[in-house]
Amino acid sequence: MTFAIEGTGSYGAGLTAAVRRRDIGVVEVMRTDRRDRRLRGKSDFLDAENAARAVLAGHADAVPKTADGLVEMIRTIKVAKDVAVKARTSAMISLKAVLVNAPATLREQLQPLSKMALIHRCAGLRPGSMTTVEAATKHTLRSIARRWEQLNDEITAHEKMLAELTTTLAPQLCAAFGVGADTAAEMLIVAGDNPERVRSEPAWARLCGVAPIPASSGMTTRHRLNRGGHRQANAALYRTVIVRMQHHEPTKSYVARRTAEGKTKAEIIRCLKRLLAREIWSLMRP
């Protein structure tokens, strides 16, 4: 007996864990095709029937993540870090917006400062009695700057924990050129606590959205951008590739050779992302 569950990493996570505890097989199914929904309609019964048919036909065979080990710990910490990063960015945008409309004397003192100098100066402002617009503006700037500092400290703590966990779990991956703790964490999260569920290196490339998609016509042979796969993993690969293009000699030589062959920068980056995915796959294999 096998359970076919949609959304095993979100709303179906509890059901997936309960079924697994009873040693029953679980596969993940995608939502029903839109064309089928238009033809047959939408209901829970029809969704269940479509899920069962997908398993019986062999179309649904994806193994869900177990989410019960170090990788799940990394994922939850990264969620907290990402939320803090968004809040810190929002705080900086708000601070600069307040500064634009600040009284001229205050604005002229603060605008020339660098980001960190601006934060430290604003965090130390003394508004005094709340009787003028300048005092209210100082209070607002100080409040936002101190919030930014708190968020920055929180992010630093999250990054330290992520670095420790990723190094413990995948030291070879963390040692790769241009692969920081954040990129390593993203790769591990995509693979899950049971990376054997990804059956092959091409499957891993497709999961990361870097598997080449043919877009040839006539005498032209080329591949187009893959817009599928895990977008955060794809972005992590992109960041590492950009770092290597600037500081990694073998990558710089590769770029020069491919440029001489007539490849565009975008095409070269796609090739490098595919090669990097292959490298990471080999480093992550148990």
- Over residues 219-238, the mean pLDDT reads 84
String of DSSP letters for 82-151 = HHHHHHHHHHHHHHHHHHHTS-HHHHHHHTTS-HHHHHHHHHT----SS-SHHHHHHHHHHHHHHHHHHH
Rounded CA gap, 39 and 175, in Å?
A: 52
Share of the chain above pLDDT 70, in %: 94
The pLDDT of residue 193 is 85
Q: Are 134 and 106 in contact (CB under 8 A)?
A: yes
Q: Are 71 and 169 in contact (CB under 8 A)?
A: yes
Q: Are 28 and 60 in contact (CB under 8 A)?
A: yes
- Over residues 160-183, the mean pLDDT reads 94
- Nearest in space to 271 (alpha carbons), one of 244, 284, 247, 285: 244
User: pLDDT band for position 36 (50/70/90)?
Assistant: low
User: pLDDT band for position 33 (50/70/90)?
Assistant: low
Which amino acid does the sequence have at 261? E
- Over residues 179-189, the mean pLDDT reads 93
The pLDDT of residue 8 is 74
Q: Are 162 and 74 in contact (CB under 8 A)?
A: yes
44 vs 88: which has the higher pLDDT: 88
Average pLDDT of the chain? Answer: 88
Residue 25, pLDDT > 80, answer no
Residue 43, pLDDT > 80, answer no
Rounded CA gap, 128 and 264, in Å?
A: 59
